[in-house]
Every structure is written in C-alpha cells, then in structure tokens.
Structure 1
Amino acid sequence: MIGRLTGTLVEKQPPTVCLDVNGVGYELDVPMSTLYSLPELGARVTLLTHLAIREDAHVLYGFGTAAERVTFRELIKVSGVGAKIALAVLSGMTVAELSQAVTLQEAGRLTRVPGIGKKTAERLLLELKGKLGADLGAAAGHVVVDGQTDILNALVALGYSEREAVASVKNLPAGVGVSEGIKQALKALAR
C-alpha cells in the first residue's frame, strides 16, 4: 500500500491534486481542508495517502494530517458511507468538530454537510461513537486540564449524558478544583 507521497505539486483541480514524484504524476483526491492548506504550484509537498482498489479503478486519497486520514478510514467503514461522502464530511468540518458532534450526538451538525441526510447522520453517530471523540474534553473542542477530565468522568458516572457533562464543565471557572467543580456542575445541571 502507498502510505505517503512527497513530490512537487503540479496541479490543483478540486477535489483532485497532482503530485510529481520523480517524474511520475500521482492524482490524489483530497478533502477541501487539505486543499486549502497546500502551498502554491511548484512547491514540494508531502501527503499521507489511502489507496482504494475498486473493480474499475485504483484511487488515491491524500491528507495533510494523520488525524484526517484516520478519520477518513473510520468514516468509510460505516455502512452506506463511501469515499465521496467521507471526503465531503472532512471538507465540511474539521476532525475536532466531527469528534465533538459524535461525542455530543449532534446529528444536525452532520446533516449540514452536502450528501448527508438524517438517516446517514444517525448511522454515523451510532457507528463512530467510541471511535471518534473518545476523550470527552478533546472532542468538545476545548483544552481540558486533568481536573476537568475528572469532573467529566464523575458526571458521566453519576448518570448524566456526555453532552450534559461537557456543557456543564464548559461553564466552570478556570482552575477550579475537582470536588468544587463537581459541586458547581451539579448545581448547574439541577437548574
């Protein structure tokens, strides 16, 4: 399998780019997030790749980060989601935003991506839960210090949903202790 390519960027035709690697031009389909981060034509570029071998074609997909490639691979494992939809998801939202949507079970955020309907969004949320956004704090898109992780875990252990726990921790003052943070979060959740 081809794991990565390093070469000269010779063409950008969204969603496809062409890399010249020692005289061989490789066409790669990339998400828009990767396309926007690429330098000008003629620059040297390294892209992580995923090779899909189909009956009618061998298709290379390129990614600027390892997180994008891992997420792409998780997305295409979901039944009913092919490479085009996976690229659309990665083009429409960042990996962190997708992880947050999965953690908070927000189907509405996924349905804003072209090609994703309500049923596909619900299937994605169900099948990606536990694979993306496993760390509540990181998936919520904010920096989590050790105390906040403990507070999140305590709230979930008490029976609150991940969405409720993340929302209550977001409103806590910075530097709050674990026991005081749990008390404040429980007060907020009781309202």
Structure 2
Amino acid sequence: MPGPSGCGRRGRDRAHAPDGVAHPGGGPNPGTDTGAVGDAVIAFLQGEVVEKSATHVVLAVAGVGYVVAVPTAVVAALPAVGGTARIHTRLVVREDSMTLYGFSTTDERELFDQLTGVTGVGPKVALSFLSALRPDAIRRAVVAGDAATLTVVPGVGKKVAQRVVLDLRDKLGAASELVAQGPLADVRVALLQLGLTPAEASEALRGLDADGKPVEDLLREALQQVGR
C-alpha cells in the first residue's frame, strides 16, 4: 500500500494530481500554497474501496487510486473491498508532503479543522482525537473544561489537552447545551450524588454514547466503566 501522503494512480500508470497539487517527482504546481490546508481542492471522494488498513483507505476514483488517512471509526464503517464509499476529505499541503485526511461527515471534518488550529496539534494528532473520541464527546469535554477526558487520546498529554480546552472553549460554546441540558449532564449529577469525585465522573462518562438511551441505562453503563 502506498504511503499515507499524497494521492496517486495505482498500478503501472503514472500518478495524477489535480491542479494545485504536487506532481510526482516534482514540486508543487504554480499557485500551490504549501503548508496550508487545501479547502476547495478535494471536498470529497466517492469510489471503489481498493484497500483498507487500520489507519488508511485507498479509493479508486475514475482510474486514480487516492490514499486517505482516516480515523478508526471511518475504517470500521466502510464497506468491504470492492464496495463503494464516499469520504469527505481535507487536503493538507506541506513543503515536503501532501496528505488527504478523510471523514464520515462534514461535522468531523470541521472539528478536525478546529483542532489543527490549536498550537501543538497537527493533522495526525487531530486524527487521533477523532479515533479515540466521538466528536460530541470532544466538544462536551472542551466546553466543560474537562482536559482529563482529552488525555485518553494517544500522544496528548495534560498540557496539550489544556491548550485545546483553552483555545476551543469559546469557539465550541454553541455546544454548551450538550453539557448543560443533555442526558449525560443528568448522569454526571447522579454519579456525583453517588459519591464519585469529579475526576471519577469524567472517567465514567468518557466515550459514553448517549444517543437515544434513557438516563438509567447510561448511569448503569457509566458505573460499569469505573467498576462500580
């Protein structure tokens, strides 16, 4: 499987690169903004799944094989090799590389963009965030100032987690209702009433999927996560 950076034709044919993307064996085309995110170069890809790994997928689109780095949840949701998939993408152009990052939804892509805007969080770390936590869990943690939850992400220590909270808390303020009014807020209150510390409550809620579940079931799952 080709390396994670760039996009190229599979097999014997030479790789094809759209305008503004570096061609194989040469520098970027005139007008390429190296070191920037290619907002409008490739918005999404739809084609046949040719290869899958834990971190990447190769999509064949109009005879061109595109290597896309994706979160683990995207890999799990993709059809088997030979099936057709659509992946929303973000092209990151550096002086020495080009990498396509892929997402299931535009919401994931937007959060990826916000994370990469934080000092010390590059595209690979941002992808790790989306692999370790659901987007709504990341937003809840940021809005609640819960840096401890973010440290579950591989490669993210306390300082980086605190910086993410500091830089994105206001930007993600519209998501505050998820914390203030969502079912997980009720579960958190119940956990504290049962004697858990705030840190233990955060640990119990980490990665919990609240979608359509009653508070009683969520509370039971949360307690199981901390061995209660």
- Count of matched residue pairs: 144
1:74 and 2:132 equivalent?
Answer: no
Could you list the structure 1 runs, at least 4 aligned residues long, displaced by more than 6 angstroms after superposition. Answer: none
How well do the aligned residues superpose, as a CA RMSD in angstroms? 1.7
Question: Is residue 118–residue 167 contact of structure 2 (8 Å, CA) maintained in 1?
Answer: yes
Larger helix proportion of the pair: 1
Residues 53-72 of structure 1 aligned to structure 2 (within 5 Å): 53-72=93-112
Structure 2: where are the runs of 5+ without partners? Answer: 1-40, 184-228
Partner of 2:8: none
In the aligned structure 2, how far is the partner of 1:84 from the partner of 1:140?
31
SS of the aligned residue for 1:134 comes to helix
Name the aligned partner's letter for residue 35 of structure 1.
Answer: V
1:106-146 C-alpha deviation (Å, 9 max, x unpaired) = 11101111100000000000011122252322356836xxx
Question: Is residue 133–residue 139 contact of structure 1 (8 Å, CA) maintained in 2?
Answer: no
1:120 and 2:164 equivalent?
Answer: no
Distance 1:139 1:9, change over 3 A: farther
Question: Is residue 10–residue 20 contact of structure 1 (8 Å, CA) maintained in 2?
Answer: yes
1:85 and 2:128 equivalent?
Answer: no
Name the aligned partner's letter for residue 23 of structure 1.
Answer: G
Identical columns (%): 43
SS of the aligned residue for 1:138 comes to helix
Question: Is residue 20–residue 26 contact of structure 1 (8 Å, CA) maintained in 2?
Answer: yes
Name the aligned partner's letter for residue 4 of structure 1.
Answer: F
Q: TM-score, normalised by structure 1?
A: 0.72
SS of the aligned residue for 1:33 comes to helix
Distance 1:96 1:139, change over 3 A: farther
Name the aligned partner's letter for residue 3 of structure 1.
Answer: A
Partner of 2:71: 31
Q: TM-score, normalised by structure 2?
A: 0.60
In the aligned structure 1, how far is the partner of 2:181 from the partner of 2:67?
33
